[in-house]
């Protein structure tokens, strides 16, 4: 038999196993489920997927892949009040975009409603379930508290015949919403609240996005999830920690129903610093206009990250790096940023772009002349070829690349100083022109014609090389600079009487008017590119042919910013 643990080790590139993989490998060793591994990703179609879901998706599909198993996509659609097809579609799109394939195994809990009904009848006949007429308030009250046992319902000992009749009438629509429920008969004194006769079915006279008006009774999570797992012969049902207390009930239903025993294993959900993950709060940001929509590039949603310029690969490696364990954790958002930089550094072509321009004139360069210079498309990938730039007498440079009175550690352009205009010539600043407000409007320099990049005398060292775009060959673009949405590592850490929105970063979006070299593009939506020395960007779908729009995905690591901020 295959022994993945040993293979991993002998390959020499082994990553130690997380606790779920350890369980799975032991199950395989014991030939449990004939060595089969089958997982599932079970979203409820009532919202958009976020980076926390991505961890679960990568875990479930990743494990199936690793152990030559299968992973189903199953919608947990048991509550018609909150679910709809739009969410089903967006979720499918996001999972597919992440690079996972559920083959022909797209399932819906609602596909099993008839089976669930039969399961319920089976339990009633077994004397393990009963119809209860108590109101929601009475049920809650009768359940007790975590420290006080509950009280048995007066309807608990109805006869099997009566329960069968009543349950059938529930299905036929003879009762209104909330009038009756079907409950499991377990133990009202259990220390586990979920075992105190939990509700299995409730009456909801609402059409379902898939079953229409066929049903007016719907199973609860507890009476649907484990049963779905079992029907699909899921071997390892991975979910987050808050479901740990549901596990005894999950197991109880499987045992009493005498069906395939899937095993539930819980892991800690992903939390990210400077970010919120709650569906409710994300909805609030959208509805109250703090962001432009669910796919706003500042949102931690999959569609937001996609529009921000993240790649599926970067999210997958991120999910790998965060690990899987049972303790609560808050991942440093810097790890997410690292993951996208690592990926884009290897694959994103480079281009010089100026986002905060100031004009620079080379006084000894002939007017009206243009020459072409060449630069590697990507120094990490020499085979990718070159990009050509037009160079002329006037260029835009980045305002931050010039300082009139530079501190010691600043080694870019300043009066009397030399720098290289990247891939072109070394220039020297001779004069600064200002307007009536004292703002710099023009920097005047001379260039050394012998220092053209690539020429024999070009190896003279200067302290830095700055990027530029020729004024006569510049195309204006909109550039959206995104920063983290919240100022606080924990956005829920607020002053008395305030909520998480008080921690919103007012500078999370800055819109700039910059220049790219004319003749570049058109850019495909979401096309990735590194603006040299500035960061990774992608073309926003808002782009038009006349006016491209770029989103900043991430800055480059910026040691100068650190020095500057230290003063």
Could you give the residue numbers annotated as active site?
Answer: 44, 269, 279
Which of residues 7, 157, 177, 278 is near RNA by CB under 7 A?
177
User: Which of 136, 366, 382, 449: binder of RNA (CB under 7 A)?
Assistant: 136
> Rounded to whole angstroms, what are the CA distances from 369 to 334, 340, 461, 473?
45, 40, 26, 12
CA distance linking residue 370 with residue 517, whole number of Å: 13
Quote the tokens at residue 434. 């200002």
In the complex, minimum distance from the CB of residue 524 to RNA, in angstroms, rounded to a whole number: 21
Q: At what angle do helices 19-29 and 51-66 cross, to 10 degrees?
A: 20
Which of residues 508 and 530 has its CB atom nearest to RNA in the complex? 530
Q: Which of 344, 281, 348, 296 is nearest to 318 (CA)?
A: 344
Beta carbon nearer to RNA, 100 or 250: 250
Contacts with RNA: how many residues (CB under 7 A)? 95
**In the range 73-132, which residues lie near RNA by CB under 7 A?**
76, 78-79, 81-82
Q: What is the closest distance, in whole angstroms, from the C-beta atom of residue 383 to RNA in the complex?
A: 15
Which lies closer to RNA via its Cβ, residue 260 or residue 560? Answer: 560
Residue 108: burial class (beta carbons within 10 Å; 0-12, 13-18, 19+): buried
Provide the mask over 277-316, with x wherever binding to RNA is found by CB under 7 A and - wherever it is not: ----------------------------------------
Q: Which residue has the tokens 């230290």?
A: 566
How far apart, in Å, are the Cα atoms of 244 and each of 18, 198, 241, 247?
18, 16, 5, 5
Query: Does 174 contact RNA by CB under 7 A?
Result: no
Tokens of 491: 């956005």
Interactions with RNA, residue window 246-275 (CB under 7 A): 246, 268, 273
| Rounded CA separation 446/362 (Å) | 5
DSSP 546: S
Please select the residue that binds RNA; options are 178, 385, 525, 541, rule is CB under 7 A.
Answer: 178
CA distance 563 to 567: 7
Rule CB under 7 A: say whether 484 interacts with RNA: no
Shortest Å, Cβ 515 to RNA: 17
Residues 262, 13 contacting (CB under 8 angstroms): no
DSSP run (H or E) holding 362: strand 357-362
Residues 331-360 that bind RNA (CB under 7 A): 331-332, 334-335, 338, 341-342, 345, 350
- In whole angstroms, how close is the CB of 98 to RNA at the nearest point? 19
Residue 510's alpha-carbon distances to 293, 297, 341, 480, 566, in angstroms, are: 17, 12, 21, 6, 23
Which residues 32-51 are close enough to bind RNA by CB under 7 A?
42, 44
Q: Which of 464, 487, 494, 520 binds RNA (CB under 7 A)?
A: 464
Ranges within 189-218 binding RNA (CB under 7 A): 191-194, 199, 202-204, 218
Given 4, 99, 261, 323, the residue binding RNA (CB under 7 A) = 323
Residue from 58, 170, 181, 549 in contact with RNA (CB under 7 A): 181
154 lines the binding site for RNA (CB under 7 A): no
Site string for RNA, 8-37 (x = CB under 7 A): --------xxxx--x---------------
Shortest distance, position 258 Cβ to RNA, whole Å: 23
User: Residue from 13, 30, 147, 456 that binds RNA (CB under 7 A)?
Assistant: 147
What is the separation of C-alpha 428 from the centre of its chain, rounded to a whole number of angstroms?
46
Kindly tell me which of 248 and 525 has the beta carbon lying closer to RNA: 248
Q: Which is nearer to RNA, 18 or 518 (CB)?
A: 18
**Residue 171 in the binding site for RNA (CB under 7 A):** no
Task: Give 373's contacts (C-beta < 8 A, 6+ positions apart).
Answer: 388, 389, 391, 423, 424, 452, 453
- Alpha carbon 27 to its chain's center: 31
3-state SS, one letter per residue, for 54-72: HHHHHHHHHHHHHCCCEEE
Q: Which of residues 370-399 bind RNA (CB under 7 A)?
A: 378-380
Among 242, 374, 404, 431, binds RNA (CB under 7 A): 242
Judged by beta carbon, residue 87 or residue 523, the one nearer RNA is 87
């Amino acid at each position: 038999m295959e022994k993945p643990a040993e293979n991993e080790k002998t390959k020499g590139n082994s990553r130690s196993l997380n606790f779920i993989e350890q369980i799975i490998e032991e199950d395989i060793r014991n030939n449990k489920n004939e060595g089969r591994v089958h997982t599932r990703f079970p979203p409820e179609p009532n919202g958009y997927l976020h980076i926390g879901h991505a961890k679960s998706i990568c875990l479930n599909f990743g494990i199936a892949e690793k152990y030559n198993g299968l992973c189903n996509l199953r919608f947990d659609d048991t509550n018609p009040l909150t679910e709809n097809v739009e969410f089903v579609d967006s979720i499918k799109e996001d999972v597919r975009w992440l690079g996972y394939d559920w083959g022909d195994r797209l399932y819906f809990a609602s596909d099993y409603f008839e089976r669930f009904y039969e399961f319920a009848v089976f339990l009633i006949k077994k004397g393990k379930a009963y119809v209860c007429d108590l109101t929601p308030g009475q049920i809650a009250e009768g359940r007790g508290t975590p420290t006080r046992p509950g009280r048995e319902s007066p309807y608990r000992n109805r006869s099997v015949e009566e329960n069968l009749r009543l349950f059938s009438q529930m299905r036929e629509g003879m009762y209104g919403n909330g009038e009756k429920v079907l409950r499991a008969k377990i133990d009202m004194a259990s220390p586990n609240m979920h075992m105190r006769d939990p509700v299995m079915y409730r009456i909801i006279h609402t059409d379902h996005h898939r079953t229409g008006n066929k049903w007016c009774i719907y199973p609860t999570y507890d009476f649907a999830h484990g049963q779905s797992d079992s029907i699909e012969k899921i071997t390892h049902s991975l979910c987050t920690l808050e479901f740990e207390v549901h596990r005894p009930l999950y197991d109880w239903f499987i045992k009493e129903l005498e069906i395939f025993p899937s095993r539930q294993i819980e892991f800690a959900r992903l939390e990210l610093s400077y970010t919120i993950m709650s569906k409710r709060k994300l909805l609030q940001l959208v509805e109250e206009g703090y962001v432009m929509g669910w796919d706003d590039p500042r949102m931690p949603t999959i569609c937001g990250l996609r529009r921000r310029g993240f790649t599926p690969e970067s999210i997958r490696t991120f999910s790998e790096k965060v690990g899987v364990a049972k303790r609560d954790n808050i991942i440093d958002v810097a790890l997410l940023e690292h993951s996208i930089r690592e990926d884009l550094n290897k694959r994103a072509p480079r281009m010089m772009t100026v986002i905060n321009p100031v004009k620079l004139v080379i006084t000894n360069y002939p007017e009206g002349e243009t020459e072409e210079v060449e630069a590697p498309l990507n120094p990490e990938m020499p085979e990718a070829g070159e990009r050509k730039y037009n160079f002329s007498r006037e260029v835009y440079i980045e305002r931050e690349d010039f300082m009139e009175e530079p501190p010691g550690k600043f080694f870019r352009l300043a009066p009397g100083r030399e720098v290289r205009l990247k891939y072109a010539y070394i220039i020297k600043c001779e004069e600064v022109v200002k307007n009536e407000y004292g703002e710099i409007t023009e920097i005047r320099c001379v260039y050394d014609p012998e220092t053209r990049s690539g020429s024999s005398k070009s190896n003279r060292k200067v302290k830095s090389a700055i990027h530029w775009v020729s004024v006569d060959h510049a195309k204006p673009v909109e550039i959206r600079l995104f920063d983290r949405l919240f100022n606080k590592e924990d956005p829920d850490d607020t002053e008395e009487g305030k909520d998480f929105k008080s921690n919103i970063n007012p500078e999370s979006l800055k819109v700039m008017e910059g220049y790219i070299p004319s003749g570049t593009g058109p850019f495909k939506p979401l096309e990735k590119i590194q603006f040299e020395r500035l960061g990774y960007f992608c073309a926003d779908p808002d782009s038009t042919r006349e006016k491209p729009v770029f989103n900043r995905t991430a800055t480059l690591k910026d040691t100068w910013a650190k020095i500057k901020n230290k003063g």
